[in-house]
């Protein structure tokens, strides 16, 4: 039986830790409407392949069901999760 050499996992630029603030592209409530846009959340659990992000607003699955406890699981390396974009504050 031949042995398979161990290879290192691919480098992931989006390596998130528990407590990190992130943005997720998801369906959520915005001013009494449901929109698909980037929403700020916090990483609350991390696995080898997925991270759990908790939000302050209701989030929905693609088939329309509301996510319990506002915790959405995302695959690491997905294009739907990113570090927060720096935003300029607008004057009131």
- Looking at residue 91, what is its pLDDT? 56
Q: Do the domain assignments include residue 13?
A: no
Q: Do the domain assignments include residue 1?
A: no
Total Cβ atoms within 10 A of residue 39: 21
Q: Do the domain assignments include residue 12?
A: no
**What gap in Å lies between CA 53 and CA 40, rounded to an integer?**
9
Q: Do the domain assignments include residue 7?
A: no
Number of domains in the chain: 1
Q: Do the domain assignments include residue 25?
A: yes
Q: What would the pLDDT profile of 28-74 be if each residue is shown by its tens digit?
A: 999 888 999 999 999 999 998 999 999 999 999 888 899 989 999 99
- Looking at residue 41, what is its pLDDT? 95
Q: Is the pTM of this model over 0.85?
A: no
Please check the confidence at residue 80 and state whether its pLDDT lies above 60.
Answer: yes
Containing structural domain, residue 41: 21-82
Q: What are phi and psi of 31, to 5 degrees?
A: 50, 55
């Amino acid at each position: 039986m031949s042995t398979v050499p161990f290879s290192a996992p691919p480098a992931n630029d989006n390596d998130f830790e528990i407590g990190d603030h992130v943005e997720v592209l998801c369906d959520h409530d915005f001013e009494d409407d449901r929109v698909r846009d980037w929403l700020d959340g916090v990483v609350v659990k991390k696995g080898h392949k997925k991270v759990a992000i908790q939000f302050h607003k209701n989030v929905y699955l693609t088939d329309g069901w509301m996510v319990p406890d506002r915790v959405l699981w995302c695959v690491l390396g997905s294009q739907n999760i990113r570090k927060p974009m720096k935003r300029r504050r607008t004057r009131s």
